[in-house]
Structure 1
Amino acid sequence: MEYFITVEPGVRVFVQDLNPTGKKTILFIHGWPLSHKQYEYQFNILPAMGIRCIGMDWRGFGNSDKPFVGYSLDRLADDIRILIETLKLKDITLAGHSAGGALAIRYMARHQSHGVSKLVLIDAQAPGSVPQQAANMFIEGTLTDRPNMLAGLPDSFFFKHITGPFSDWFFQIGLQGAGWSTAAVMVTLRDENVRNDLGKISMPTLIIHGVHDQVVPFVNAQETNKLIHNSVLVPFQNSGHVPFLDEKDKFNQLLMQFVE
């Protein structure tokens, strides 16, 4: 099923809802600057295992509407709250990757884990901000030559070799976003952080992080693990920033075990 949910007047977010009758539900939050399509290799497998998989596109990305404003962590977390209330979701697992991990953390703290019973953080941008120099480089690249900026991401995102067509697929996902939203979210990631949110999370939390991550260093995951009391950290030894693509089978198996 595919549909749009209105999160504020004139702004709709796109939702991909697979296996709506599944016994367990995972709401997937994508990373910057991608869309729900980054989870293709989870959506291919998990619904057949009885899991309801919901992928949403943030405002400004994927198939969602692309307003010029509304890209703070609070506003994006509020969009998730409206989606959860609209779909009447309860007892779900919230899974967030990279910037989507920061967004999931903000949701848990700001909305008191409403509707969520388990949390999965995948190479999450936590606990601190994106370093200023790197963030400014991404912002400048977005505003001057966004296709070139996007074309360079696989070099730092993947640990394993990927084919040219796979790289093109990844590139096309990034192109679906708007330039202004791509830049605005990176400004948010530079100027905001979720450090003070982590102590407010009490739900069981699975932290998955690639040991070779060049975007969010593994040491960040270790610090996040210490700051979330009820969390476990699982290193992915053959992954970079995208373990759900670098080590698909291991990732899917671990996710299924955690959700059950």
Structure 2
Amino acid sequence: MGCYIRVEQNVNVYVEDLDPGNGKPIVFIHGWPVNHKIFEYQFNRLPIMGYRCIGIDLRGFGKSDRPWTGYSYNRLADDIRVIIDTLGLQNITLLGHSMGGAISIRYMARHAGYQVSKLALVGAAAPVYTRRPDFPYGRTKEEANKLIEGTYNDRPKMLEDLGDLYFERYITGSFKKWFQGLGMEASGHSSAMAMMSLRDEDLRPDLPKIHVPTAIFHGVQDKRCPFVLAELMHAGITGSELIPFQYSGHGIFYCEKDKFNRELVRFIG
């Protein structure tokens, strides 16, 4: 069932709630620049197994409203808090992919892990997405700026190129078009603003504030968020579990979907 939740004055966020009864809730936070439908191959399977899957279109993406401002990690984390309160969710697994993983980390730190019992970080763009003098890992700020430039000048081509880097294993041309279509559902301006947050935000101080069981799912071949980021998150989050996917790039939830779904169910219990 889909619905809109008001997270701020004049800002409504779209939420898809696949509720199989009293199943354990999993809140899915998508990455840049797609929407909740990227998790189709989890939504097909997990509700059958009794899990309540809740997909959120972050503001500016998918079916959600597209305000001109409000794309900082703090604001996006606050949106998630409003949705959790509105739906009355408890004992949830918060799952974030890519930028969604970064926002999930900020949520855990900013809201003290409110109502979250487990955290799943999937190809997370953390602890820092871009390099800086004291952090020589990840993408360069110039690469992030090129994505912003491409968003404003030729977004379809930018998304086509991004899809080629997203999935390490062979995908069909039809699948690439589907992925590109998800990106085109977003606002161009929202996409650019969110990439600026990816470029500039630093989550290193947030990691020690995570105190729930955490699983880090990461593709060894990831070209968007290199595997070293997963190792750094693993070192920074006490008691976390690192689950490598040897044959996957950034889109591990599709490239190795059977293993991913199996490991996620094992982790949640």
Is 1:143 aligned with 2:127?
Answer: no
* Aligned-residue CA RMSD (Å): 0.7
The percentage of counterpart residues that share the same residue type is 55
Aligned to 2:214: 205
Structure 2, unpaired ranges of 5+: 131-139
Superposed counterparts of 1:68-147, under 5 Å: 68-130=68-130, 131-147=140-156
Is 1:166 aligned with 2:175?
Answer: yes
Question: Which of 156, 163, 183 does residue 154 from structure 1 map onto?
Answer: 163
CA shift for structure 1 position 17: 0.5
Q: Is the 8 A contact 2:151 2:188 kept in 1?
A: yes
Aligned to 1:230: 239
Look up the SS of the partner of 1:95 in the other structure: strand
Deviation beyond 2 Å, 4+ runs, structure 1: none
Task: State the aligned residue count.
Answer: 260
Look up the SS of the partner of 1:196 in the other structure: coil
Could you report, residue by residue, the CA deviation over 1:171-224 in whole angstroms, capped at 9, with x for unpaired residues? 100000001000000011111121110010010000000000001110110011
Cα distance in structure 1, aligned partners of 2:115 and 2:191? 28
Matched residue type, 2:86: T
**Structure 2 length normalisation: TM-score?**
0.95
Look up the SS of the partner of 2:113 in the other structure: coil
Moved more, 89-98 or 130-139: 130-139
Look up the SS of the partner of 2:154 in the other structure: helix
Cα distance in structure 2, aligned partners of 1:29 and 1:5? 15
Cα distance in structure 1, aligned partners of 2:171 and 2:113? 36
Cα distance in structure 2, aligned partners of 1:233 and 1:73? 24
Aligned to 1:179: 188
Look up the SS of the partner of 1:126 in the other structure: coil
CA shift for structure 1 position 23: 2.1
Aligned to 2:48: 48
Look up the SS of the partner of 1:6 in the other structure: strand
Q: Is the 8 A contact 1:22 1:47 kept in 2?
A: no
Look up the SS of the partner of 1:63 in the other structure: coil
Aligned to 1:254: 263
Cα distance in structure 1, aligned partners of 2:48 and 2:129? 37
Cα distance in structure 2, aligned partners of 1:105 and 1:175? 26
Cα distance in structure 1, aligned partners of 2:179 and 2:265? 25
Matched residue type, 2:147: F
Matched residue type, 1:21: G
Cα distance in structure 2, aligned partners of 1:20 and 1:196? 37
Matched residue type, 1:42: Q
Cα distance in structure 2, aligned partners of 1:120 and 1:22? 21
Cα distance in structure 1, aligned partners of 2:3 and 2:154? 32
Q: Is the 8 A contact 1:209 1:243 kept in 2?
A: yes
CA shift for structure 1 position 20: 4.7
Superposed counterparts of 1:206-221, under 5 Å: 206-221=215-230
